[in-house]
A and B are shown apart, each in its own frame.
Chain A
């Protein structure tokens, strides 16, 4: 990865809440256009680490560059260059799909002509013609997540952060969702994704596994399986977690 210009560069990042160290001195880099899986059990510190990278939480120690900007000093520029889709649903249920697009396009400073064009393309690509004017709350979860992902991409971010985007979604929709991710990665967008599903970890270019605030493993799924003599990422994960206990 050294020869590529890195999309994300993390150096000794640490976050403490009082006596508790949620993220303990982690370092890694993510290359441009890479799909980077950020794995870990609940409470391992994934979300905290991610929040520092997207500029809504200040690191206690260490530093990081995101899209070429420093998280400590240039959080505002970072916000303009990233997309973010949260674990919890990130659209407004009481607004229609179109209204959501207009709203989020607006707060990212897109012109109305731009928004109009983008929303048409998006509705077309997702095949949502019939539902464009229905409230988001009435859509099935899988559809919502697809729309949310597209909305996170509205302003052409260089990096997209996805916090457990497929939680609670059926396997077929998850599959379609990953196809969307691949499509964006092929366009050169860097994808930073946290997930609980170990089969999804196999889709990533590289994965890191966090245990108790530290990154315990980081490599391609193939190498990790060889390293831990496991058949699947699931086994890798279990072995790592057991070693810690």
Chain B
């Protein structure tokens, strides 16, 4: 046991003294979660807009109130003339202007049909597109309220007509995926690199000549990464709960247990890679190409599996990450228990045993 603790201590020295691995271990998870959570998002929050109201009637006032009440926009000014629009945009703060024409109410009541102009600052095209969609949906919402119980409906026509999806909370979708990537990266790539590093430097030979048996060597190398991966998983879950207010519906215990299962799965893949690769570079490339790419592309994290061509759908079944994402999405977002994910769990366990068995076999061959 003493021996073992000494070994793990040494492994931590390696990790803590190597800035690169420290960054991958602790910087990456945080950066990734923040990136996916904040930057790559389809949501908008408190966007500054201005109003140009030529009509100033009951209906425009109601629409303005509705917009002001939503958390997506805050009204930061009223413009009295078309000439003011350009200068407003030039200042850079205002991202959109809502332009109500003269006689808005009159047209609405008499013609049952009126248009509203939405001007958006298109220097950020994505943002502009999203803003006009949001405003459009608020207008539509208002129109529906007006039309309740009316035979001849009113129509307010905005420039865009895309349907607003209030369920589009991108961060909720990203967290399970990011967690999967991070755990794969830390567990599989880092262990395979750290084992091949010993091979490359020649110290593996020294360890094999020592009374430690190969099994102890591998376990000693893997244990620190199990601990670090668990810390990472906890950090990601805490970030998503406290920073992104993402509710974890299901049991935290089950979530933890499934995460550990996936960590062990990834570690066994890492060991398998290290039995094949002889250099750190090879280990890294194999991990990136063989593990990360499939995880990103085929696990259902970014591209829905159901819309893939059949052969790819078939291949996605052999990717452990696919099953893990199904499991944690179920637990985190739907709050399901083991009764609903036991199949996926069994598949993961089976894969893990297979990888461990295979690496034990491979590892022995290398020692002959």
Complex Cα distance, B18 from A58, in Å, reads 36
Complex Cα distance, B209 from A54, in Å, reads 7
Give the chain B neighbours of A92 by CB distance below 8 A: 10, 13-14, 203
B209 touches A56 (CB 8 A): yes
A107 touches B6 (CB 8 A): yes
Chain A residues bordering chain B, tally (CB within 8 A)? 30
Q: Given A55, A87, A88, A91, which contacts B209 in the complex, CB threshold below 8 Å?
A: A55
* A interface footprint on B167-211 (CB within 8 Å = 1, 0 otherwise): 000000000000000000000000000000000011101111111
A88 touches B202 (CB 8 A): yes
User: Is B368's CB within 8 Å of the partner chain A?
Assistant: yes
**Nearest opposing residue in chain B for A51, CB measure:** B205
User: Is A70's CB within 8 Å of the partner chain B?
Assistant: no
User: Is A95's CB within 8 Å of the partner chain B?
Assistant: yes
User: Is B150's CB within 8 Å of the partner chain A?
Assistant: no
B10 touches A56 (CB 8 A): no
* B interface footprint on A101-113 (CB within 8 Å = 1, 0 otherwise): 0111011110010
A106 touches B209 (CB 8 A): no
User: Is B367's CB within 8 Å of the partner chain A?
Assistant: yes
Give the chain A neighbours of B207 by CB distance below 8 A: 107
Give the chain B neighbours of A84 by CB distance below 8 A: 205-206, 209
User: Is A220's CB within 8 Å of the partner chain B?
Assistant: no
Residue among A55, A56, A89, A112 having the largest count of chain B Cβ atoms under 10 Å? A56
Chain B residues bordering chain A, tally (CB within 8 A)? 24
Main secondary structure of the interface of B (DSSP, over half): helix
A103 touches B202 (CB 8 A): no
Q: Given A55, A87, A102, A107, which contacts B202 in the complex, CB threshold below 8 Å?
A: A87
Within 8 A of B (CB), among A164-199: none
**Nearest opposing residue in chain B for A54, CB measure:** B209
Residue among A55, A57, A103, A112 having the largest count of chain B Cβ atoms under 10 Å? A103
| A108-B203 in contact given A92-B10, A92-B14, A94-B14 (Cβ < 8 Å) | no
Give the chain B neighbours of A57 by CB distance below 8 A: 367-368
* A interface footprint on B340-368 (CB within 8 Å = 1, 0 otherwise): 00000000000000000000000000011
Using a CB–CB cutoff of 8 Å, the interface residues on chain A facing chain B are 54-58, 76, 79-80, 82, 84, 86-95, 99, 102-104, 106-109, 112, 135
Q: Which 6 residue pairs across A and B have the least CB separation, nearest first?
A: A106-B6, A88-B202, A84-B209, A103-B10, A90-B206, A94-B17
- Beyond A58-B368, A103-B10, 6 additional pairs, beta carbon < 8 A: A84-B206, A87-B202, A94-B18, A103-B7, A106-B7, A135-B17
**Contacts A/B (CB < 8 Å), 20 sampled:** A54-B209, A55-B209, A56-B209, A56-B367, A88-B205, A90-B205, A91-B203, A92-B10, A92-B14, A94-B14, A95-B14, A99-B13, A102-B6, A103-B7, A103-B9, A106-B2, A106-B3, A107-B7, A112-B2, A135-B17
